[in-house]
Amino acid sequence: MCPRLDDLPQELIDDILANLSVQDACNLRLVSRPLQWKAIHRSFRQSFRQKRLEITQQNLENFVAVTQTGRLGCLLQNLTLYGLLISYEALSKAVMKNTRTRRHLSGFIQLSCEEPLTPAESFKAKSDLEYLSNLRSSNHEMVKSEKAVTLLAQAFKNISANAPLKRLPRLSLKIICIMDDPNLRYTPITFSQMARHTPIWPTAAETFRVTMSALMESKLRVQDLTVFNSPDMDVCSLFGDQLGTLDFPKLKNLTSHLRILSLSLVARDPYLSVCGGYGKSSQPTIEDSFAGLGTLVAHCTTLKVLDVHYFSVEYDRIHHTDHNPISITTLNSTELAERPSNQLELLVLAGLVIREHDLLEFLKRNRSQRLELDYIKLTEGSFRSILDFCSNPESGLTSLHLDSLFENTIIWFSESGARGSELDIDPFGNSLSRDGDDVWLPIDFHVYASPILSFQMPCRPQLYMRYKIRRFGPLPNRGIERMYPRP
């Protein structure tokens, strides 16, 4: 006789639930009353501690409902909010022409041809186009009317009132892209390779604004905030000037409890006028574009981990001007200089294009036990004073990692036994890691006089640098043309 489900031990029930979706687990709980109690014991509750939420009106209304008193949504501990970027230009053309583009390989050559749609394909294309058009219109109206802020703020209030911890331990912001097919989702890097890149950043800015407005209204406490800074969010970053628009007094509940802050930034195009057009008479305003970053960090008095990623875009090359690349020139907050320095456990700065003085002042202002500098480019000065500060016992560092630092060209560490990355060329290395008392030893490095010499490398290091450029920019010429196509 086969054993009954009710008689299975709790450990086996937990293993079964670990491999089921939430919907299947709910159906399993309906089998019998004993199984209902066993199924809710551990794994079923665990399913409600993490949630991925696409920002649509229907999803936000459901989110408000499941976070009410006594509902399992109150168990939420890790929330990922996805801003939706919807594109259906290719689908619209296919419906208009009643054809589709079929691609195939002929040897090593990719060929494409137009084929007429079958009746079934034509019906599906029209249905998908109508659905995506309505979804984008409803999302635009929801954001414009501030209904998105109202619904999200209400859900945050429910979590603050009903959650066991009375706070949200972790909140992440991401972008997900829908292109032509409602059932498929693309990461920003995949979307940028298949379509234009420019819609990604405004979508990220709107997602950030809605979330911060909801946090200000709900006064929800968050311990770990990640803003577009994760491996699947390459080429998706937040405009640096968005941080300057925050109302910090209203965000006191957030900044006074935040322990981990991770964010990816990009400079807004300084040649883009308010009306959205370009003109040679418009002057770039890069001096205060990142002023809000230093102010935000200064307000986060309990911060322990700070991870700042910067994606560089050479707007001067795009618009054929002689201006210097945009750098983070106002990383430090002058209005809060009287506040005590932050004592961090980990500080990660990646991809920054910055002056020597600004970087050194920021490191002194935000002292940490562990420091990681990755792909840093100095527009003025040298790394000498920065590395001397890092090797000084007064810095308080116990761990140091340096990777791909640039003055005019990449710098190489000549220390024997330096642990480098794939870019290493003996006896030098572009990467250096130290722990313990070794951090305080002097750091010796060299800069090649000619940029050509520093990049005469075999294929493998070139692939490594290609990976770095994908993460930190600037985009290659093909990427620039995709962002700003020629008329």
Q: Which pLDDT tens digit goes with each residue over 88-103? A: 888 888 888 887 776 6
Which range is least confidently modeled, 93-97, 101-105, 153-157, 210-214? 101-105
pTM: 0.81
Which range is least confidently modeled, 77-86, 257-266, 270-279? 270-279
Return the CA Rg of the chain.
26
**What mean pLDDT is predicted for residues 135-142?**
92
**What mean pLDDT is predicted for residues 391-410?**
88
**What mean pLDDT is predicted for residues 188-212?**
86
Q: How far apart are CA 52 and CA 319, in angstroms?
A: 39
Q: How far apart are CA 132 and CA 140, in angstroms?
A: 12
How far, rounded to the nearest angstrom, does the alpha carbon of residue 188 sit from its chain's CA centroid? Answer: 10
- What's the pLDDT score for residue 307? 94
Q: State the virtual CA torsion across 49, 51, 56, 57 in degrees, nearest 10.
A: -10
- What's the pLDDT score for residue 58? 92
Q: How far apart are CA 273 and CA 254, in angstroms?
A: 33
Q: Which pLDDT tens digit goes with each residue over 292-335? A: 888 888 888 899 999 999 988 765 555 444 444 445 555 655 55
Q: How far apart are CA 233 and CA 174, in angstroms?
A: 7
- What's the pLDDT score for residue 207? 95
